Amino acid sequence: MRKLLIKTLVLSGLVLIGAGSAPAQNTSVDKEAAAEFERGVAAIQAGKWDAALAAFKKVTQKYPNAAPAYVNLGIVYRARNDNKNAEAMLKKGLSLEPSNLVGQRMLADLYISQRKWKEAAPLVRKVAAAAPDDFASRMVLGQVEFSLGNLTAAEKEWKKASSIDPKNPAPLRSLAGIYVAKRQTKDLESTLKALQKIQPDDPRIALDLAGMSVQSGDNEEAVTWYKRALSADPENLFIL
């Protein structure tokens, strides 16, 4: 995923440098800066962080408005576990190009790693809005909303994620967590049943459904779920 983001930065960086404010006669400077940018990207891909840092700093010295170079500096600092400078560079890049999707993703990722949900939220929302059919963006936004206590918003995002990739159990598991928190028994049961169809060999799901059946007084259905759990995990003595 990081390599894909870096390739995007290469393209946007070259375009930005080529269309910069340098006079037309300074095309050699443009080429030099573009080459420096490419060297920086190659250094990132090779894990040569010092070389990458030097390359992108040279680009920003020549073109202080080159937003992608600042974003890449943020990536480099993040890789070096220098979160303070990573945040500063990513913010700088976004101040120059607020719509830079890679910068938004990277800064959001930094905030999420620090559990700064309020700071991450507006960035993740922008990323999700720019890619409405992106499964990962919906899952991340759901997690951020959930962490902020916005359960209805989280539910909405995870439902979208499930519609994008119906065979992926992750959004259903997340939805189940919401329904437990909100004590929405019917929604929880239907979600667990949908999850059980995707993962029929997971005894935990069948056990959860068995427990719900017991609570509702449907012992016959509970036995059915216990049998499914046992067939999925015959050596589990707790089922017996």
- Predicted local distance difference test score (pLDDT) of residue 14: 39
CATH number reported for the structural domain that contains residue 154 in this entry: 1.25.40.10
Alpha helices by DSSP H, 183-216? 185-198, 203-216
Residue 82, φ and ψ in degrees, nearest 5? -100, 80
- CB-count exposure of residue 36 (10 Å: 0-12, 13-18, 19+): buried
Q: Please say if the pLDDT value at position 136 is more than 80.
A: yes
Same-domain pairing of 103 and 35:
yes
CA 2/CA 197 separation, integer angstroms: 33
Q: Would 188 be classed as within a structural domain?
A: no
- Predicted local distance difference test score (pLDDT) of residue 213: 67
Write the CA distances from 17 to 22, 83, 94, 150, integer angstroms: 9, 27, 16, 41
Q: pLDDT tens across 150-184, in order?
A: 999 999 999 999 999 999 999 998 998 898 888 89
Q: Would 122 be classed as within a structural domain?
A: yes
Same-domain pairing of 76 and 1:
yes
Residues 116-132, mean pLDDT to the nearest whole number: 96
Residues 82-86, mean pLDDT to the nearest whole number: 97
Same-domain pairing of 109 and 2:
yes
CA 223/CA 16 separation, integer angstroms: 65
Helix (H) or strand (E) holding 11: helix 2-18
- How many structural domains compose the chain? 3
Same-domain pairing of 225 and 165:
no
pTM over 0.85? The answer is no
Same-domain pairing of 57 and 150:
no
Alpha helices by DSSP H, 21-134? 27-45, 49-62, 67-79, 83-96, 101-113, 117-130
- Predicted local distance difference test score (pLDDT) of residue 112: 97
Output the CA torsion 137→191→233→225 (10° steps).
Answer: 180
**Which residue type is seen at 142?**
G
CA 217/CA 81 separation, integer angstroms: 54
- Which structural domain range is residue 137 located in? 115-183
Q: Would 129 be classed as within a structural domain?
A: yes
Q: pLDDT tens across 23-79, in order?
A: 333 445 578 888 999 999 999 999 999 999 999 999 999 999 999 999 999 999 999
Q: Would 101 be classed as within a structural domain?
A: yes
Same-domain pairing of 4 and 94:
yes
- Predicted local distance difference test score (pLDDT) of residue 233: 65
pLDDT above 90 covers a percentage of the chain that reads 59
- Predicted local distance difference test score (pLDDT) of residue 1: 42
CA 80/CA 92 separation, integer angstroms: 18
Same-domain pairing of 212 and 233:
yes
Q: What angle do CA 110, 113, 116 make, to 5 degrees?
A: 80
Q: What angle do CA 174, 177, 181 make, to 5 degrees?
A: 145
Query: Residue 21 carries which DSSP code?
Result: S
CA 78/CA 110 separation, integer angstroms: 8
CA 114/CA 112 separation, integer angstroms: 5
Q: Please say if the pLDDT value at position 99 is more than 90.
A: yes
Mean pLDDT lowest among 42-56, 97-111, 182-196: 182-196
Q: Would 170 be classed as within a structural domain?
A: yes
Same-domain pairing of 151 and 220:
no
Q: Would 239 be classed as within a structural domain?
A: yes
CA 77/CA 115 separation, integer angstroms: 19
Same-domain pairing of 2 and 109:
yes
Last residue of a domain, one of 80, 114, 148: 114
- Residues 77, 85 contacting (CB under 8 angstroms): yes
- Predicted local distance difference test score (pLDDT) of residue 167: 94
